Chain A
Amino acid sequence: MALELNGTTGVQGNSGAFVAGTAVASTSGTSIDFTSIPSWVKRITVMFDAVSLSGSSTIRIQLGTGSTTYTTSGYVTFGVTFSTGGLGGATDTGGFVIGQNHTAGGVTTYGGSCVITNVTGNNWSYMAVMGGSSTTNGGQLGGGSVPLGAALTAVRVTTVNGTDTFDAGTINILYE
């Protein structure tokens, strides 16, 4: 398998190499969108470092195609939130979810990763694990899959209610 290396933009051909995206300070915005993901990509890791939200909504990952339309239906996914006192879960069809809800306003910051992997064609699977700084809603899990209508070109990190804003931390992706 040949590698095409470009000193400016990294690996251009199919390869087993990781390509790191540009880390984003997740201190504002209702979503963080990573676009122009190459068509040869088979696995994407979204990484969260000390991230928090202004509200208690659930982090949701949506996949985009073309230039750029985000798929907002057809996901089969379930998220689980753990606290020391119990747990809760929720399904979603509008995007992959991490957990059921989060602790609002920077009270709890979360770190962890989600991995989005190509199954075949335009079908993608998903798994996520995050841990938080609090015993309330500190554990976050998620898993699922989605068939896209075209090749994946973008990943959006947002929330289920679409209006909570990110207010701390850093988010980045690796793709390979």
Chain B
Amino acid sequence: MNRIQIDVITGERQVIELTAEEVAQAQAQYAAWLAAQPTKEEQIAKLQAQIDALKG
């Protein structure tokens, strides 16, 4: 995996290989993001509560 880097002053374009540390960091950040998201069950429960409220 790699990333593209552009210097906006010079226009120089570089293709830089990701280090193992960068990949590990990305995976750790993604795991943290996933953990912070509501589960499908929680989302369904919230929607159901809104439907129930609309029905009165």
Contacts and interface: CB of A to CB of B under 8 A. Distances in A.
Interface of A: 9, 19, 21-22, 24, 26, 28-38, 72, 90-94, 158, 160-163, 165, 173, 175
B11 to A, nearest CB: 5
B33 A94 contact: yes
Q: Which 8 A-B pairs have the closest CB atoms?
A: A162-B26, A31-B3, A29-B4, A33-B5, A161-B30, A22-B11, A21-B8, A36-B9
Where chain B touches its partner, the secondary structure class is mixed
B54 to A, nearest CB: 16
B6 A29 contact: no
A149 B32 CA distance: 22
B30 A160 contact: yes
Contacts of A35: 5-8
A91 B34 CA distance: 10
Nearest to A95: B29
Given A30-B18, A160-B33, A21 B26 contact: no
Given A162-B27, A162-B30, A31 B36 contact: no
Given A90-B37, A92-B33, A94-B33, A163 B7 contact: no
Interface string B27-46: 10110110011000000000
Contacts of B19: none
B23 A163 contact: yes
Contacts of B53: none
A91 B37 CA distance: 8
Contacts of B10: 9, 36
A163 B26 contact: yes
